[in-house]
Structure 1
């Protein structure tokens, strides 16, 4: 990729980030909670969730889709549930498992994360990654906040792992600038419908 093309792509990504951030800021807490319940319910009905044994969740910030209902259901279903830590070695996220919501506490960036007493879960042992994002396309492309940590982590994960993006319908866009570092989702779930991305086989635990 030439320097000019890369610069143009970066500028288009930044413009889209600003637009999608503004959309998210326009959502009220009640709207986020109400729509969030529908997103989580739709996700919990997906075969990706039902087949997974180890699920990586995120603690929502700044208008991201809530995940509390997923956490409660996954613990009741006796799945291993883990969250990323704010301390990153290189570009790959580290994850720790929790057994109750009370084990999440504010980290150094203000995002809730597991305490140091929780068990570390190697990235290659995670079956299903639940991924936040500023925007998604219907075919599974994702726009994050620009750090590239999730993309690097998902590339380092096991080939049998799957990834599902959670979003509000306002975050779905027609087109998105991408490059070779970007990682697509298997499924994008909104409060209105779910969109097939890569949509790889959900019997991933047997592969």
Structure 2
């Protein structure tokens, strides 16, 4: 991919980020909670969640889809639940597991994350990544905030792992500019439907 093409894609991404951020800011907290419950309920019914043993969640910020119901359900279901840490070595995120919501505390960036006493979970041990984003397509393309941390992390993950993006209907767009660094989702779940991304086999774990 030529340098010019990459630069043009970056410019289009930035424009879309501004548009999609504005859409998210227009949502009230009550609307986020109400619609977020529907997204989480649909996610919990997905085979990817049901098959996974170790699930990586995110703590939502700035209007992202909530994940609290997923956390509670996953802990009750006996799954290992981990969250990313704000300090990053290189571009790959580090994750720690928690056993209750009380183990999440505001990190240096203000995002809730596990305390230092929580167990580290290697990226290649994570079965299912639950991924936030500013925008998604029906085919599983994702637009993040621009740091590239999730893309790098997902590329470093095990080949058997799967990734599901959580989004509100307003965040689904017809097309997104992408480069070779971008990683697609296996599924994108909104409050009204589950969008087939890569949709790789959900029976993805070793027996």
TM-score, structure 1 as length reference: 0.99
Structure 2: distance between partners of 1:117 and 1:124: 21
Deviations 1:80-123 (A, max 9, x none): 00000000000000000000000000000000000000000000
Give the alignment of 1:38-57 within 5 angstroms.
38-57=38-57
Structure 1: distance between partners of 2:192 and 2:21: 20
Q: Which runs of 5+ in 1 are unaligned?
A: none
Deviations 1:55-92 (A, max 9, x none): 00000000000000000000000100000000000000
Q: What CA RMSD, in Å, does the superposition of the two structures yield over aligned residues?
A: 0.7
Structure 2: distance between partners of 1:30 and 1:123: 34
Give the CA deviation at 1:21. Answer: 0.3
Partner of 1:189: 189
What secondary structure does 2:96 align onto? strand
TM-score, structure 2 as length reference: 0.99
Deviations 1:110-146 (A, max 9, x none): 0000000000000000000000000000000000000
Q: Which runs of 5+ in 2 are unaligned?
A: none
Q: Does 1:29 align with 2:32?
A: no
Structure 2: distance between partners of 1:124 and 1:167: 25
Structure 2: distance between partners of 1:134 and 1:177: 13
Q: How many residues align?
A: 207
Partner of 2:173: 173
Structure 2: distance between partners of 1:5 and 1:153: 24
Partner of 1:97: 97
Partner of 2:5: 5
